[in-house]
C-alpha cells in the first residue's frame, strides 16, 4: 500500500512509492532506462461536511488508493464506508484512474456514504481504534503489526524539513546549552540504560475514551437483525458516561441497553451518525477535543515514523507500559485470525500457490520485472510474518499436532497452510551426522540453499517458502506445503535424489535439465553416484536434495542443506590429509555435526582467486614461449597464433563444448575456425597455446581441460554416498579442490579480513556487524576462535583491540546462548520470567550467591499431582525446577567449555567480573548482545550489576520473549543495478549523472519494497551525501533525515548503521546552521556508541572530532578540548602515532588552544602535526606548508602575548596594552574542518581542469571498453594478454581522477 501524506499537497508524490502498478513505460524502449514518471493531474474531492479540496493523482493509481488517502487525511480520516462517484457513477475500487471515462484535470469526485455490513462495521471500529492509538508506541514495544521505534524527532524537535529555516538567526549562539550529561563525556565509566529510549512528549496518552469494547449482547437476535442491527458496542466516555451503541446498516446510534438489561430501541436522542467519531463527538466534549488533537499530531509526524516495516523489528528494552482495554486486540487474540485475514476474500491464504505464481509472472521488460519483484517481495514478507506467528503458536501450545500420538519432540503441525517441524533429530534421521546438533544446523543450511536457488531464479524450478524461527529455546522450521504431498508417502513422490542419504538414489531427466542451469552460477558439478543396485545415477546437486512433482505439475526441490560443499577444516576424514596451511592452524577439528558447509561467498572468492591464478600462469608460460620463439622465429607468427585463452573447444574431450570462465561471456564460436591458419608454424603455435591452457587448467583444478571452469561436487565425503569406478580420477580432483578451498579460507580470507580491519576498511561495532564482516568474506562464525587467535599473533595487535574485544563479546554471548537454549527447554510457561532473570543474574551479576526465586506460585494448589501429561512442546513436563539450581560458577564454567569445544578458543575467566577485567568488556554490552541473540526483552532501567549483596535482575524485569527469525530477502535486481552504476559514476566523478541514477534506483526500490527497507536507506544516505557535495544542503538534510528514520525503524534504534546515519545528519544540520540540533544528534550518537561498543573504538575518534569541532564553533573551548584530546588519543592508538589522521587531530587541538590564547600548548601540538606531515608527505606538500605557516602565526601570537605580559609586570597598571587578536573560528572554517574529517573533500577546479579531467575519465572508460571487447573475442596475442594483465593491475592500483575524492570514511 502506498503511503500518502495526509494533506493532499503536491509533495505527496514522493512518499507515494510510485502508486499503483508500475506499468508506466512505453513498451518500445524497454531496453533503455525507463524513468518511471507520473504525469499526475489534480481532481477535486467533495466529502460530506467539508470544503472541496484538491488532490494530485497519477493515472496509474487505483481508485482504492484515493480511499486510503481520505482515510489518512485529518478531516476525512473517520470515514471508512463510502464510495467515490463521478457525475453520479460509482467508481470501481480496483480500476486504474486512466481507465475511467471522463476523469480528467479538475473533475469533481463526490464522497458518498454507503450502507454498512457486519464486515464494514468491524473495519470501521478497527480503523477508529487505530486512529485513537496512532501515537501510542505499545505496538512497537510488543513487536506486533510491523511497528517499530524511532526517536529521531525527540532530538530534532519535530520535522527538520518543513521548518528547516527556523534556526538560521545569528542570535542562536546565545541560547545553546552545550553541556552533555555526565555519562556522555570522554572517560565516563557510567553506562545508564534509561536514555536509550528518551521520553517522547507526544506519547503522553491523551485519553479520548475510557473503554470501547464489544457488548456482551452480541450477536443481535434474529428479530433485531431484520431491523438492520449489525452488532453492539459498549463505551465508557472520559466523563464516566456509560453508553450502549448499535451499529446498524445506516450508521451508529445510542440504544437503551444497560449492562444487565437488553433494550435495543434507539435512545432519545439517538444521535444517529454514519461515523462513530461523529456520534462520540456529540456525546463527549473531551472526546471531541482530544480526538482532534491526536489527529493533528498524527498528521504532523513524518510518514516514516508511521509506515509499517516489511519485516518485524523487536526492541530488547521497553518501559513499563500500562495495559489498557482494547476490544480489537482482544478479539484478535481469541479468533487468533487463524490465517483468516479480515481483508482477504476467501478464507485462508494458499501460501505455496502465492509464492509460486508470483515467481511465474513475466519478466521481459522493466515494468514487468518491477511488478514481479514487488509481488514476490510482498508475499515473502507476509509469509514470514504468518510463519513467525504460527511458530510462536506451536511452541506456546496453541496448535494441535497432526501426529498427536507421538512424543512431543516428534510432533509436526499445520496451521494456516504452513507446515511446522521442530529442530530435533526425531527418527534418528541425522544419527550419522551428529544427531540433534545436526538437526539444529540443517534448517539454516537448508534456508541458505533456498536463498541461493531463489537468487539464480531458474524458470520452472521451484523451492518452498522457508522461515526458520528460534523461540523459547526451540528451533522451528516453517515451510509452505507442496500440493498433494500430504496424501502420499514420501517414497512414492520423490523422483529425484535420495531420502536415505544416498543408499537409494533416483534421477529424472527434467530435473537434470533444470538443475544444469543452476550448475554454473552455484558452482555445482554434475556427477554420477551409485544407487543400491550399484548402478550409476546422474545428479546435479547433492544426494539429499529431493525433487518432487506436486499435484500442480510444478517441479519442486527441497532439503537443500548440502547445496554448498563440505568444510574439511571441520570434517576430519580418515586417510585424508589437509594442506599445510590448515594443519598449521590445528585443522581438521572435530565439530558437533557433519553438516559444516563452506559459505557461498567463500566459493565465489575462491573461484575468483583461482581465475587470477589461471590468467597469471597462462601469461607467464606464453611469455616464456614467446622468448623462446623470438630467438628463432619471425615476428609475423605472433599475429595469428593467439592463445585463445579460455575457449579452445576440444570437442573430443568431454563434449563440454560451452565451458567458459565462470561468469565471463560465452566464447565466440569462431575462435577455433579462424584462429588456425594454414601455415604449419601457426598450427604449432596453436598446439603450444593449447598446451599452455591445458597446463594452467590442470594447475588450478578446472573441471575442463580447455577452459577455466571450477565446480564442486557436494557429495564428496558424504557418508553413505558411493561413486562409480570410472570417476575416481575426477573424485581425486574434487577432493583436492575441497582441501584447497578449506586452506584458502584459513590462509587467505582470515588474513585479508584482519588486514581490512587494520586498514579500517571493515569497521564492525557489535556482534551483528562483526558476523556480517566474516560472512562477506565467506568465513563461518565457527572460525571465530581462529580469527581471534590470528589477531593475537598479529604484530600490530593493539591496533586491533576493538576487533578482538568485539570477537570476545561475540564468543561469550554465543556460548551463553547455546547454553540458554537447552536451559529454556526445561522451563514451563509459568516459570519463564523467573528462569530468564535467574539466567541473566548468573551471567552478569557480581552477586555470587544468585539464588533463583522459584515463582512464589500465585495460585498454590495442594494437590500438585493432578496435572495430566502435558503435551505442549513448550509446556515442559516432569520436574520443571531443574533450572533453579544453576549457579554463576556453573554457568561460566559451561561458557568457557563451550568456547573451547565449539570455537576452539580458551577463555581465561571463571566469573563475569574476571571476564570484564581481563578483556575490557562492559556489562551493558554483554546484556544487549545476549538479549538480541536470545530474543529477551527487559525493562528499561538502570541495573546495578556490580552489587555484591543483591542480584541485578528480578523476574519483574523480564517483559517478554521474542522469536529470532531467519528468512529469505528477495532482491530488487533492476534497482540494485541502477544503484551500482550510480555509485560507479560518482566514483568516476560524474556527480550529476550519478545523482540521477541513484534517484532512479530510489524510485525503483520504492516500487518493489514499499517505502521502508534497508536498501532504500543506503540509497538515501548516498543521495544526501551527493546533495551535500553539490551544495544543496537543505535537500541533503531532508534525505538524510529519511535515512535516519528508516535505519531506526528497519535496523533498530541502536544499530551501528543508525549511529552512523546520526553522524551524517549532524553534519548536514551544522551546514544548515542548526547548531544545537547538530550537537544533540552527535551526543545521541556518542551515547549509543558507548552502549554498543564502549569508548575504545576507532569510529569514536571520528565522532569526538565532530563533537569537538562543533563545540569549538560555539566557543565552548574547555569542553571541546576534552573531546578533541580523546579523539587524538584514540587516533594515535588505532592509526599509529605517525598517521596523517593523527596530524590532523593535533592541528584541531592546536586551533582550540589558540582560541584560548594558550599558545605554548598550541605550538606543541602543531609541531607534532608538522613533524608527521614532513615525514609522511615531504616538505613541498601543501599540508606541510600550511602547517608551517600556522606555526609561524602561532609563534608571533605567543611572542606578542609575552611582550604584553612583560609590559604589565614592568609598568604595573599604567602599561599601554596592545589589543590581542583572539579568534573565535568562523562557521565556514569549522565546516571546512568537519568536511575534511568526514572524508568529504572539495577540490576547487578551474573550467580547464574540469575539461581535462572529463577527457581523462573518458579515455580510461574507452580503455576499459576496449578491454571488455577483447575479452569477448578472447583472441589476443601473448603480448596483448600481458599488456592486459598489467593494465588490469594498474587500473586496480591507480585511483580514478575525480572531481570529488570521496573517501567514504564511514562506508
Q: Which helix (H) or strand (E) covers residue 1285, if one does?
A: helix 1278-1293
CA distance 323 to 318: 13
CA distance 847 to 691: 73
Report how far apart, in Å, the C-alpha atoms of 705 and of each of 618, 644, 646 are: 13, 13, 10
Strands 418-422 and 474-480: antiparallel
Out of 5-9, 810-814, 1137-1141, which region has the weakest mean confidence (pLDDT)? 5-9
Q: Which helix (H) or strand (E) covers residue 461, if one does?
A: strand 461-462
Q: Per-residue pLDDT averaged across 823-850, rounded?
A: 90
pLDDT in tens, 353-372: 999 999 999 999 999 999 99
CA distance 109 to 127: 23
Q: Per-residue pLDDT averaged across 385-403, rounded?
A: 92
User: Of 1207 and 198, which is predicted with more confidence?
Assistant: 198
CA distance 1075 to 494: 67
- Asked if pLDDT for residue 871 goes beyond 80, the answer is no
- The percent of residues in the chain predicted with pLDDT above 70, rounded, is 81
- Asked if pLDDT for residue 168 goes beyond 50, the answer is no
Give the number of other CB atoms < 10 A from CB of residue 1129. Answer: 17
Out of 112-126, 630-644, 1232-1246, 1274-1288, which region has the weakest mean confidence (pLDDT)? 1274-1288
Residue with cell 535515512: 1043
**φ/ψ (deg, to 5) at 260:** -110, -10
C-alpha cell at 762: 571493515
pLDDT, position 1246: 55
Residue with cell 551527493: 1026
Work out the end-to-end distance of the chain between its first and last CA atoms, rounded to an integer number of angstroms. Answer: 32
pLDDT in tens, 471-490: 999 999 999 999 988 887 66
Listed residue (326, 143, 189, 141) closest to 939, CA to CA: 141
Q: 245: pLDDT confidence band, cut at 50, 70 and 90?
A: very high
User: Of 167 and 1058, which is predicted with more confidence?
Assistant: 1058
Q: 339: Cβ–Cβ under 8 A, 6 or more apart, which residues?
A: 347, 348, 349, 386, 390, 415, 416, 417, 418
pLDDT, position 200: 75
Listed residue (416, 471, 466, 414) closest to 442, CA to CA: 466
C-alpha count within 13 angstroms, C-beta hemisphere, residue 606: 30
Give the number of other CB atoms < 10 A from CB of residue 1208. Answer: 13
Report how far apart, in Å, the C-alpha atoms of 998 and of each of 366, 975, 1008, 1022 are: 16, 9, 15, 8
Q: Which helix (H) or strand (E) covers residue 1247, if one does?
A: helix 1247-1273
pLDDT, position 349: 85
Q: Which of 26-30, 259-263, 475-479, 874-878 has the highest mean pLDDT?
A: 475-479
pLDDT, position 342: 44
Q: 807: Cβ–Cβ under 8 A, 6 or more apart, which residues?
A: 770, 784, 787, 788, 791
Instruction: Kindly provide the b/e burial profile for residues 917-929, where b requires at least 16 CB atoms within 10 angstroms of the residue's own CB.
Output: eebebbbbbbbbb
Spatial contact of 557 and 450, defined as CB atoms under 8 Å apart: no
Q: Which helix (H) or strand (E) covers residue 1045, if one does?
A: helix 1033-1050
Out of 524-538, 549-563, 1201-1215, which region has the weakest mean confidence (pLDDT)? 1201-1215
CA distance 1091 to 928: 8
Residue with cell 575467566: 909
C-alpha cell at 732: 581425486
pLDDT in tens, 274-311: 999 999 999 999 999 999 999 988 888 888 988 899 99
CA distance 1101 to 1305: 12
Spatial contact of 569 and 578, defined as CB atoms under 8 Å apart: yes
Out of 321-325, 339-343, 938-942, which region has the weakest mean confidence (pLDDT)? 339-343
pLDDT, position 1247: 60
Strands 317-318 and 229-237: unpaired
- Asked if pLDDT for residue 335 goes beyond 50, the answer is yes
Q: Per-residue pLDDT averaged across 1094-1108, rounded?
A: 95
User: Of 326 and 362, which is predicted with more confidence?
Assistant: 362
pLDDT, position 28: 38
3-state secondary structure 352-396: HHHHHHHHHCCCCCHHHHHHHHHHHHHHHHHHHHHHHHHHHHHHC
**Angle in degrees, 0-180, between the axes of helices 327-335 and 118-132, rounded to the nearest 10:** 120
pLDDT, position 344: 47
C-alpha count within 13 angstroms, C-beta hemisphere, residue 722: 12
**φ/ψ (deg, to 5) at 1052:** 120, 155
DSSP-assigned beta bridge partners for residue 722: 530
Strands 418-422 and 412-415: antiparallel
Q: Per-residue pLDDT averaged across 112-129, rounded?
A: 92
- Asked if pLDDT for residue 653 goes beyond 90, the answer is no
pLDDT, position 166: 42
CA distance 857 to 13: 57
**φ/ψ (deg, to 5) at 674:** -90, 0
pLDDT in tens, 1011-1057: 999 999 999 999 999 999 988 999 999 999 999 999 999 999 999 99
Spatial contact of 125 and 332, defined as CB atoms under 8 Å apart: no
pLDDT, position 175: 56
pLDDT, position 1044: 96
C-alpha count within 13 angstroms, C-beta hemisphere, residue 1027: 24
DSSP-assigned beta bridge partners for residue 420: 413, 478
CA distance 448 to 445: 5
State the DSSP string of 1177-1218: H-TTSHHHHHHHHHHHHHHHHHHHHHHHHHHHHHHGGG--PP
Out of 654-658, 1220-1224, 1245-1249, which region has the weakest mean confidence (pLDDT)? 654-658
pLDDT, position 693: 87
CA distance 645 to 653: 17
- Asked if pLDDT for residue 655 goes beyond 50, the answer is no
What is the separation of C-alpha 554 from the centre of its chain, rounded to a whole number of angstroms?
A: 32
pLDDT, position 426: 78
Listed residue (559, 458, 451, 561) closest to 510, CA to CA: 458
- Asked if pLDDT for residue 856 goes beyond 80, the answer is no
Spatial contact of 709 and 660, defined as CB atoms under 8 Å apart: yes
Report how far apart, in Å, the C-alpha atoms of 475 and of each of 346, 810, 811, 824, 938 are: 31, 21, 21, 12, 22
Q: 1110: pLDDT confidence band, cut at 50, 70 and 90?
A: very high
- How many degrees, rounded to 5, is the angle at CA 61 between CA 59 and CA 64? 135
Listed residue (219, 252, 22) closest to 125, CA to CA: 252
- Asked if pLDDT for residue 1307 goes beyond 60, the answer is no
pLDDT, position 1266: 66
Strand order in the sheet with 229-237: 209-214, 229-237, 242-248, 251-255
Q: 54: Cβ–Cβ under 8 A, 6 or more apart, which residues?
A: 8, 42, 43, 44, 45
State the DSSP string of 97-133: GGGSTT--TTPEEEEEE----HHHHHHHHHHHHHHHT
pLDDT, position 97: 86
Q: 1190: pLDDT confidence band, cut at 50, 70 and 90?
A: very high
Q: 1220: pLDDT confidence band, cut at 50, 70 and 90?
A: low
Q: Which helix (H) or strand (E) covers residue 697, if one does?
A: helix 680-700
pLDDT in tens, 884-910: 889 999 999 999 999 999 999 999 999
pLDDT, position 350: 92
**φ/ψ (deg, to 5) at 819:** -70, -45
CA distance 78 to 74: 8
C-alpha cell at 429: 534421521
pLDDT, position 270: 87
pLDDT, position 57: 87
Q: Is 229 helix (H, G, I), strand (E, B) or coil?
A: strand
State the DSSP string of 604-650: HHHHHHHHHHHHHHHHHHHHHHHHHHHHHS-TTHHHH----TTT---
Q: How many residues does the chain have?
A: 1307
Strands 412-415 and 466-471: unpaired
pLDDT in tens, 412-454: 999 989 999 999 887 778 888 888 999 999 999 999 999 999 9
Amino acid at each position: 500500500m502506498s503511503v500518502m501524506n495526509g494533506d493532499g499537497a503536491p509533495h505527496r508524490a514522493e512518499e507515494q512509492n510510485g502508486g499503483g502498478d508500475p506499468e508506466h513505460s512505453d513498451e518500445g524502449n524497454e531496453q533503455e532506462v525507463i524513468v518511471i514518471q507520473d504525469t499526475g493531474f489534480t481532481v477535486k474531492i467533495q466529502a460530506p461536511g467539508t470544503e472541496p479540496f484538491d488532490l494530485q493523482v497519477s493515472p496509474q493509481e487505483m481508485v482504492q488508493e484515493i480511499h486510503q488517502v481520505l482515510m489518512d487525511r485529518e478531516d476525512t480520516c473517520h470515514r471508512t464506508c463510502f464510495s467515490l462517484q463521478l457525475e453520479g457513477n460509482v467508481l470501481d475500487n480496483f480500476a486504474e484512474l486512466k481507465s475511467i471515462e471522463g476523469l480528467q484535470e479538475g473533475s469533481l469526485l463526490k464522497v458518498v456514504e454507503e450502507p454498512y455490513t457486519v464486515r464494514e462495521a468491524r473495519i470501521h471500529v478497527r480503523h477508529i481504534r487505530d486512529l485513537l492509538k496512532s501515537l501510542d508506541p505499545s505496538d512497537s514495544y510488543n513487536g506486533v503489526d510491523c511497528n517499530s521505534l524511532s526517536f529521531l524527532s525527540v532530538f530534532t524537535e519535530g520535522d527538520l524539513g518543513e521548518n528547516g529555516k527556523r534556526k538560521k538567526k545569528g542570535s542562536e549562539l546565545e541560547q545553546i546549552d552545550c553541556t552533555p550529561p555526565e555519562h556522555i563525556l570522554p572517560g565516563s565509566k557510567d553506562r545508564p540504560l534509561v536514555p536509550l529510549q528518551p521520553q517522547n512528549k507526544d506519547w503522553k496518552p491523551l485519553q479520548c475514551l475510557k473503554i470501547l469494547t464489544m457488548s456482551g449482547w452480541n450477536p443481535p437476535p434474529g428479530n433485531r437483525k431484520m431491523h438492520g442491527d449489525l452488532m453492539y458496542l459498549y463505551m465508557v466516555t472520559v466523563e464516566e458516561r456509560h453508553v450502549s451503541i448499535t451499529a446498524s446498516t445506516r450508521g451508529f446510534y445510542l440504544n437503551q441497553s444497560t449492562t444487565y438489561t437488553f433494550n435495543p430501541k434507539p435512545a432519545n436522542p439517538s444521535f444517529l451518525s454514519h461515523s462513530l467519531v461523529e456520534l462520540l463527538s456529540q456525546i463527549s466534549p473531551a472526546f471531541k477535543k482530544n480526538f482532534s488533537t491526536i489527529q493533528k499530531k498524527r498528521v504532523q509526524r513524518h510518514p516514516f515514523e508511521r509506515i509499517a516495516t516489511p519485516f518485524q523489528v523487536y526492541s530488547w528494552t521497553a518501559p513499563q507500559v500500562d495495559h489498557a482495554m482494547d476490544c480489537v486486540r482482544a478479539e484478535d487474540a481469541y479468533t487468533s485470525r487463524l490465517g483468516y485475514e479480515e481483508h482477504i476474500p476467501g478464507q485462508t491464504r494458499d501460501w505455496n500457490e502465492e509464492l509460486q505464481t508470483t515467481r511465474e509472472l513475466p519478466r521481459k521488460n522493466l515494468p514487468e520485472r518491477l511488478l514481479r519483484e514487488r509481488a514476490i517481495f510482498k508475499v515473502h514478507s507476509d509469509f514470514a510474518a504468518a510463519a513467525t506467528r504460527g511458530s510462536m503458536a506451536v511452541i506456546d501450545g496453541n496448535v494441535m499436532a497432526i501426529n498427536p500420538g507421538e512424543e512431543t519432540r516428534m510432533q509436526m503441525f499445520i496451521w494456516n497452510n504452513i507446515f511446522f517441524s521442530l529442530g530435533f533429530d526425531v527418527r534418528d534421521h541425522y544419527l550419522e551426522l551428529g544427531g540433534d546438533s545436526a538437526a539444529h544446523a540443517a534448517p539454516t543450511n537448508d534456508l541458505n540453499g533456498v536463498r541461493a536457488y531463489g537468487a539464480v531464479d531458474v524458470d520452472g524450478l521451484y523451492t518452498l517458502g522457508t522461515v526458520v524461527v528460534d523461540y523459547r529455546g526451540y528451533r522451528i522450521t516453517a515451510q509452505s506445503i507442496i500440493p498433494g504431498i500430504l496424501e502420499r508417502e514420501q517414497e512414492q513422490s520423490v523422483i529425484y535424489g535420495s531420502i536415505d542419504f544416498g543408499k537409494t538414489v533416483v534421477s529424472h531427466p527434467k530435473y537434470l535439465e533444470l538443475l544444469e542451469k543452476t550448475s554454473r552460477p552455484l558452482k555445482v558439478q554434475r556427477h554420477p553416484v551409485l544407487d543400491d543396485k550399484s548402478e550409476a545415477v546422474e545428479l546435479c546437486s547433492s544426494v539429499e536434495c529431493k525433487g518432487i512433482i506436486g499435484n500442480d505439475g510444478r517441479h519442486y526441490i527441497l532439503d537443500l542443506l548440502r547445496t554448498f560443499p563440505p568444510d574439511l577444516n571441520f570434517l576430519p576424514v580418515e586417510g585424508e590429509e589437509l594442506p599445510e596451511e590448515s594443519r598449521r592452524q590445528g585443522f581438521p577439528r572435530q565439530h558437533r555435526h557433519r553438516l559444516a558447509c563452506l559459505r557461498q561467498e567463500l566459493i565465489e572468492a575462491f573461484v575468483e582467486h583461482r581465475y587470477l591464478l589461471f590468467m597469471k600462469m597462462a601469461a607467464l608460460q606464453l611469455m616464456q614461449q614467446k622468448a623462446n620463439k623470438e630467438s628463432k622465429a619471425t615476428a609475423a607468427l605472433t599475429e595469428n597464433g593467439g592463445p585463445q585463452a579460455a575457449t579452445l573447444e576440444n570437442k573430443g574431450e568431454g563434449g563440454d563444448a560451452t565451458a567458459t570462465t565462470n561468469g565471463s561471456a560465452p566464447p565466440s564460436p569462431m575462435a577455433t575456425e579462424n584462429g588456425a591458419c594454414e601455415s604449419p608454424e601457426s598450427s604449432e603455435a596453436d598446439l603450444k597455446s593449447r598446451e599452455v591452457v591445458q597446463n594452467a587448467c590442470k594447475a588450478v583444478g578446472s573441471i575442463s581441460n580447455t577452459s577455466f571452469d571450477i565446480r564442486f561436487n557436494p557429495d564428496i565425503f558424504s557418508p553413505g554416498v558411493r561413486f562409480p569406478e570410472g570417476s575416481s580420477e575426477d573424485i581425486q580432483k574434487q577432493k583436492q579442490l575441497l582441501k584447497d578451498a578449506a586452506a584458502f579460507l584459513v590462509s587467505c580470507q582470515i588474513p585479508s579480513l584482519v588486514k581490512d580491519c587494520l586498514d579500517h576498511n571493515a569497521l564492525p561495532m557489535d556482534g551483528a556487524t562483526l558476523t556480517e564482516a566474516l560472512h562477506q568474506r565467506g568465513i563461518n562464525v565457527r572460525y571465530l576462535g581462529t580469527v581471534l587467535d590470528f589477531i593475537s599473533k598479529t604484530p600490530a595487535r593493539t591496533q586491533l583491540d576493538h576487533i578482538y574485544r568485539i570477537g570476545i563479546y561475540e564468543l561469550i554471548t554465543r556460548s551463553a546462548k547455546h547454553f540458554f537454549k537447552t536451559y529454556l527447554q526445561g522451563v514451563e510457561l509459568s516459570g519463564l520470567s523467573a528462569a530468564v532473570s535467574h539466567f541473566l543474574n548468573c551471567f552478569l551479576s557480581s552477586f555470587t550467591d544468585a539464588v533463583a526465586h522459584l515463582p512464589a506460585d500465585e495460585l498454590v494448589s495442594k494437590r500438585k499431582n493432578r496435572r495430566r501429561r502435558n503435551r505442549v512442546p513448550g509446556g515442559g513436563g516432569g520436574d520443571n525446577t531443574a533450572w533453579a539450581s544453576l549457579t554463576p560458577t556453573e554457568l561460566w564454567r559451561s561458557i568457557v567449555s563451550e568456547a573451547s569445544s565449539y570455537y576452539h578458543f580458551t577463555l581465561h575467566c571463571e566469573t563475569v567480573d574476571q571476564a570484564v577485567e581481563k578483556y575490557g568488556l562492559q556489562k551493558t554490552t554483554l546484556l544487549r548482545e545476549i538479549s538480541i541473540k536470545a530474543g529477551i526483552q527487559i525493562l528499561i532501567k538502570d541495573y546495578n550489576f556490580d552489587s555484591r549483596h543483591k542480584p541485578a535482575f528480578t523476574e519483574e524485569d523480564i517483559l517478554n520473549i521474542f522469536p529470532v527469525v531467519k528468512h529469505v530477502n528477495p532482491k530488487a535486481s533492476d534497482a540494485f543495478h541502477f544503484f551500482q552504476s550510480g555509485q560507479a559514476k560518482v566514483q568516476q566523478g560524474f556527480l550529476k549523472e550519478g545523482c540521477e541514477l541513484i534517484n532512479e534506483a530510489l524510485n525503483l526500490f520504492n516500487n518493489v519494497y514499499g517505502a521502508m527497507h534497508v536498501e532504500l536507506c543506503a540509497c538515501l544516505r548516498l543521495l544526501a551525501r551527493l546533495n551535500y557535495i553539490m551544495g544543496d544542503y537543505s535537500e541533503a538534510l531532508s534525505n538524510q533525515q529519511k535515512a535516519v528514520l528508516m535505519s531506526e525503524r528497519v535496523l533498530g534504534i541502536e544499530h551501528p548503521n543508525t549511529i552512523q546515519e546520526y553522524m551524517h545528519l549532524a553534519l548536514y544540520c551544522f551546514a544548515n546552521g542548526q547548531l544545537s540540533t547538530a550537537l544533540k544528534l552527535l551526543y545521541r550518537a556518542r551515547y549509543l556508541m558507548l552502549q554498543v561498543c564502549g569508548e575504545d573504538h576507532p569510529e569514536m575518534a571520528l565522532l569526538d572530532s565532530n563533537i569537538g569541532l562543533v563545540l569549538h564553533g560555539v566557543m565552548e573551548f574547555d569542553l571541546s578540548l576534552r573531546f578533541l584530546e580523546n579523539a587524538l588519543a584514540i587516533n594515535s592508538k588505532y592509526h599509529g602515532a605517525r598517521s596523517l589522521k593523527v596530524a590532523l587531530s593535533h592541528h584541531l587541538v592546536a586551533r582550540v588552544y589558540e582560541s584560548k590564547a594558550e599558545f605554548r600548548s598550541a605550538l606543541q601540538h602543531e609541531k607534532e602535526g608538522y613533524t608527521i606531515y614532513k615525514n609522511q608527505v615531504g616538505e613541498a606538500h601543501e599540508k606541510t606548508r600550511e602547517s608551517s605557516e600556522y606555526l609561524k602565526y602561532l609563534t608571533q601570537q605567543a611572542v606578542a602575548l609575552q611582550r604584553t605580559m612583560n609590559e604589565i609586570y614592568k609598568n604595573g597598571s599604567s602599561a599601554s596594552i596592545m589589543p590581542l587578536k583572539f579568534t573565535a573560528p568562523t562557521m565556514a572554517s569549522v565546516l571546512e574542518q568537519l568536511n575534511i574529517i568526514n572524508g568529504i573533500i572539495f577540490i576547487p577546479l578551474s573550467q580547464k581542469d574540469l575539461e581535462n579531467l572529463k577527457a581523462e575519465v573518458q579515455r580510461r572508460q574507452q580503455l576499459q571498453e576496449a578491454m571488455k571487447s577483447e575479452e569477448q573475442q578472447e583472441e589476443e596475442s601473448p603480448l596483448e594478454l600481458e599488456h592486459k594483465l598489467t593494465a588490469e593491475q594498474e587500473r586496480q592500483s591507480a585511483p580514478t581522477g575525480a572531481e570529488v575524492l570521496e573517501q567514504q570514511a564511514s562506508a
